[in-house]
Structure 1
Amino acid sequence: MSTYSSAVQTTNRITGSRKWWALATVLLTMFFSSMDQTVVSTAMPTIIGDLKGFSLYAWVFSAYMMASSITVPIYGKLSDVFGRKPFYLFGLTVFGIGSAISGQSHTMMELILARAFQGIGAGAMMSMPRATVGDIFDPKERGRWMGVMGAVFGVSSIIGPSLGGWITDTFSWRWVFYINLPFALLAILGVLFTLPKVRAEHRVKVDWLGSVLLVIGLLPILLGFTWAGSKYAWTSPVEIILFAGGALFLVIFLIWERRAEDALLSPTLFKNRIFSMSLILGVLVGMAMFGSLMFLPVYVQGVVGLNAQDSGWVMAPMMLSFIVGSIVSGQVMTRTGRYRVLAWVSGAIIVVGSILLNQMNLYTHWSTVVINMIVLGLGIGSLMPLLNVAVQNAFPYSMMGTVNSTQQFVSSLSGVIASPIFGSILDKSFSAKFKQSLPTDLHSLSSQLSSINPQSLLTVQAQKAIAVKFAPYGSVGQALYRQLLHTIKLSLTFGIQHLFAVGLIFAILCFIGTFFLPETKLKSKEYFEEKN
């Protein structure tokens, strides 16, 4: 166990009635920053139609995720030295400017660059909220409020898609970005008046070289995962160079951090078993979640047969159960001061939810999908805030930003990495099953069907485009068309089941990992009064 775990935490810097205004500011910031992604995703089909950049579609999200992920640990370390306030203000300002530029974009490349700039600001907004909760509450109380933060994330995920669709249809897709500006201004005012200005108690040398090495190391690796399986094959020379080059600079970064005077990411952090195990569990639960849910809308629309709007409502119960799980988990930790048994139960629920998803097939009804997702949401929602609280409880107050941002950083990476891996699994499984199941009568048309992919059934327009190819064959063509639709659904189900199987593996590993998570009783206000 690291010596950090036994250090005495200093008094929280935000006290009295002011802390409730600070908490409200934190929740507001987290709400609109987490909602931004879901709002934008709903507007993307319209944006693509306007800016004519389908080939660059993925980069609108990838540029944002990479910029925010890379900057998270840098913000976290600096905020431990200079306080949260300046980085909140910087992040909100950059995020707001990036939103305004995104709304003014006239080409996809302009939008991608604006989203990358916006992501730099989002990195601060991702790393600051959980550390600020640590500024306000003692470890035992944090369980309750970490649960509330999880609930805010869930609510934003439910509201975002509908709000994005309404804004796009009623006004313009540009207002999907402009809507961020009043929220950003309100949050800036809240930060100015509620968060204290903090000065470092001793002179600190900022690890700028470590920051540069981290960025240079991570950028090619994230690019490699973004392009792998789509633009380039996993074993292509470009991918090998990206991964090898990034790994080389990360090794240099680790060597430098071992000798840096005030390291950006001190290797001694990982000597703390609670910290290292929480990071591992965070990656496993993230991969289980992405493996099961990232492409679930494809299954709901392509196999179950619901349209995009209805599939959004099918996804909503999962986020509601995520909210319930977060709140209940937080309340249990606050009342008991313990979290290990809760981690076991949460991990078991995640496994059960993943097993239920693996039972779904070509004939599954949408109501069954809802029930399965509710179970999975309960498990994920109850485990994620638990990991945050466990780590905060294991370190002194002076390291709050560093440990929280490292957790957030690893969590973000799991999402960036999961997307291409699971996408590749789906594409390969779908293609193999499609070729195997294609009726003999359709073999002659195989060259014309080569462009069919797992997204072929998601819109009426896509189905009509396929149907046009069979129109010249009359009634025989209609019969062949129905056979093709069945083959696509069968292949899509086969591919999704492979995803669920991989997600189940991560879920099982996560459950096993909870038994290796050490527990220290959550410290209360009385604990710090005794120490002082």
Structure 2
Amino acid sequence: MEHLDMKKKITIMVAVVSVLLFSALNMTIVGTALPKIVSSIGGLDYFDWVFTIYMLTSSITAILVGKLSDIYGRKIFLQVGIIIFSTGSLLSGFSEDIIQLIIYRGIQGFGGGMLMSISFATVGDLFSPRERGRWQGILGGTFGLASLLGPTLGGYIVDNFDWSWVFWVFLPFGVIAFILISRLYPVIKSTKKESVDYLGSLVLTITLVSLLLGFTWADSKYEWVSPQIIGLFGTSILGLVAFIIIESKVKSPVVPLFLFKNSVFTISNIVSFLIGIGMFSVIMYVPFFVQGVAGSSATTSGLVEMAMTIAMVVSSGTAGFLITKTGKYKIMAIVGLVIMAIGVYMNSQLTADSTLFNVIINLMVIGFGLGVTFPVFNLTVQNAVKHKYLGVATATSQLFRELGGTIGVAIMGSIMGRILTEQIQQAELPQPAKGTGGEIPPNIEQLQDPQLLMNPEALAEIKNKIPEQMHAFFEQFIQLMREALSVALSGVFLFSSVIIVVAVITTFFLKEIPLRTSNVDPEEEKEQETGTSS
């Protein structure tokens, strides 16, 4: 599609941006609304599956569709993705219990994986690597905008309307996106017939599901050394070995293993994995500080995190423009990661006495650094492979980022839990005042769950159940827990900052290949020149 005139390219990108905004808004709006949804339909013990199932289905679909779109073209998968995603959204709003919601969110994930993977690959189809920077930045900014609007809108909807509208409000955008794609997106597919690697796809699915479930359940549902977790990791390892064997023998592998012989491709994916850890440490654990330590509301937490999103949107667009203008991306990646590492380290220095202003400054630094790096590593992967592998290469990069986020959250959750337990054990617990019976109320033990500190209503309910003369003791205990949680979160952010430093070091080994000014592969260019001269 590189041969299309600029006006046509821009109209196609308008359609693609509408698709990405549609899917990203639906993803980001659910988090804020989920507590109200669970209180309405029940199923608190399974609420985390609302996120887990989406992550599983979208990750699997993204990597598989990346390869299939290289064979059959992008348009059909964008159209099918919109239909599946919209169907999942519609059904989710009709959920009568948590199991139905989980199933319908899984359907959403199948569609969402298609849309995310194909949207970024389309940029590679339309523009040469030298031109892609600004458009990758625009897509990054679009995702950031959705992260900005989604949580705020989700909170407003559940406060003023039926929660089902969280899933229905953007369905008209899906219709518009489908019409735009159908009319504007040209039908282009590979002229070379390739078989589909069904066995490899199945084994890869089993490998990813086992790996993601293992890290999701470890130290939350089961112990790290429990038979269940060991079994899942063992299955994942065996699956990976089988997958490598299968991919080395089939003619059209779902993930061509020779791509990993390309140092640029491999290093870029490693850095994407590490960035995923750092990014999710902020997304998942900053709310623990704002709500659990600072004692602010969920709405305030969303507003605070806007600082990172706004900085990310601005810096992502700016970085993409500069990459296109200068053709330089390695130095920008290093600078962005260094800034991000500094911001995450600043988070590790927060204490129970820190103000929300301190948090906002830190998040702005993180957002600026993250935004600068966001367009880079999709670009480096796409620039390093032949155009016929563009879809699978882009999907692989996104998969590594998601794997980093999932694995990182599991590890950091264990770090937070262990430090929090140590802090409570080492702390001098307050004693009830004289005249109160001298006994610690049994329901006080519930407060050792950090999730409870983020729920003011639950705290108020516990406080109302204890005698009034115990309220001073209650407040002292809460303060002790907030201080312990602050120390635990410092450990999480310190770990994350070290991971980003490792990403900085790894990026120094990235070979900076000049950005091509055409999507035609160098070998093909030589063949064309030879044919012309002869």
From the superposition, tell whether residues 427 and 465 of structure 1 become closer, same or farther in structure 2 (CA, over 3 Å): farther
- What's 1:490 paired with? 483
Does the 8 Å CA contact 1:362/1:493 hold for their aligned counterparts? Answer: yes
- The partner residue of 2:205 within 215, 225, 229 is 215
* CA distance in structure 1 between the partners assigned to 2:236 and 2:170 by the alignment: 34
Equivalent positions of 1:328-407 (< 5 A) are: 328-407=318-397
| Structure 1 counterpart SS, 2:248 | helix
Indicate whether 1:88 and 2:70 are aligned.
Answer: no
**Deviation sequence 1:197-220 (CA, Å, 0-9, x none):** 123212111111111111112112
| Structure 1 counterpart SS, 2:453 | coil
- What's 2:444 paired with? 449
**Deviation sequence 1:10-42 (CA, Å, 0-9, x none):** x62644422111101111111121121221111
- What's 1:6 paired with? none
Shift of 1:66: 0.5
Does the 8 Å CA contact 2:84/2:110 hold for their aligned counterparts? Answer: yes
* CA distance in structure 1 between the partners assigned to 2:4 and 2:36 by the alignment: 44
| Structure 1 counterpart SS, 2:220 | coil
Indicate whether 1:423 and 2:413 are aligned.
Answer: yes
| TM-score normalised per structure 2 | 0.94
Name which of structure 1's ranges 454-463 and 119-128 shifts more when overlaid on structure 2: 454-463
- What's 1:7 paired with? none
- The partner residue of 1:516 within 493, 509, 512 is 509
**Deviation sequence 1:304-344 (CA, Å, 0-9, x none):** 23211112111101111111221121111111111111122
| TM-score normalised per structure 1 | 0.94
* CA distance in structure 2 between the partners assigned to 1:438 and 1:319 by the alignment: 39
- What's 2:464 paired with? 468
- What's 1:459 paired with? 455
- What's 2:423 paired with? 433
Shift of 1:527: 8.9
Shift of 1:512: 0.8
RMSD across aligned C-alpha pairs, in angstroms?
1.8
**Deviation sequence 1:259-303 (CA, Å, 0-9, x none):** 110110011000111110000100111111222331111101122
Does the 8 Å CA contact 1:292/1:499 hold for their aligned counterparts? Answer: no
Indicate whether 1:116 and 2:116 are aligned.
Answer: no
Does the 8 Å CA contact 1:392/1:404 hold for their aligned counterparts? Answer: yes
Name which of structure 1's ranges 457-466 and 190-199 shifts more when overlaid on structure 2: 457-466
* CA distance in structure 2 between the partners assigned to 1:30 and 1:41 by the alignment: 18
Letter in 1 for 2:112: A
Shift of 1:419: 2.6
From the superposition, tell whether residues 96 and 105 of structure 1 become closer, same or farther in structure 2 (CA, over 3 Å): same
Does the 8 Å CA contact 2:207/2:236 hold for their aligned counterparts? Answer: yes
* CA distance in structure 1 between the partners assigned to 2:416 and 2:136 by the alignment: 34
| Structure 2 counterpart SS, 1:17 | helix
Equivalent positions of 1:300-339 (< 5 A) are: 300-339=290-329
**Deviation sequence 1:23-80 (CA, Å, 0-9, x none):** 0111111112112122111111111111111001100010011000011111000001
| Structure 1 counterpart SS, 2:516 | coil
- What's 1:98 paired with? 88
- What's 2:126 paired with? 136
Shift of 1:514: 1.4
| Structure 2 counterpart SS, 1:455 | helix
Does the 8 Å CA contact 1:337/1:523 hold for their aligned counterparts? Answer: no
**Deviation sequence 1:230-274 (CA, Å, 0-9, x none):** 111111011111110121112101110011101100110001111
Does the 8 Å CA contact 2:71/2:193 hold for their aligned counterparts? Answer: no
From the superposition, tell whether residues 78 and 528 of structure 1 become closer, same or farther in structure 2 (CA, over 3 Å): closer
Shift of 1:188: 1.0
- What's 1:4 paired with? none
Does the 8 Å CA contact 1:34/1:153 hold for their aligned counterparts? Answer: yes
* CA distance in structure 1 between the partners assigned to 2:167 and 2:283 by the alignment: 25
Indicate whether 1:56 and 2:46 are aligned.
Answer: yes
Name which of structure 1's ranges 518-527 and 88-97 shifts more when overlaid on structure 2: 518-527
Does the 8 Å CA contact 1:15/1:136 hold for their aligned counterparts? Answer: no
Indicate whether 1:188 and 2:178 are aligned.
Answer: yes
- The partner residue of 2:142 within 134, 152, 164 is 152
* CA distance in structure 2 between the partners assigned to 1:292 and 1:134 by the alignment: 29
Shift of 1:456: 2.2
Equivalent positions of 1:242-281 (< 5 A) are: 242-281=232-271
Letter in 1 for 2:516: K
* CA distance in structure 2 between the partners assigned to 1:446 and 1:418 by the alignment: 36
The total of aligned residue pairs comes to 519
- What's 1:283 paired with? 273
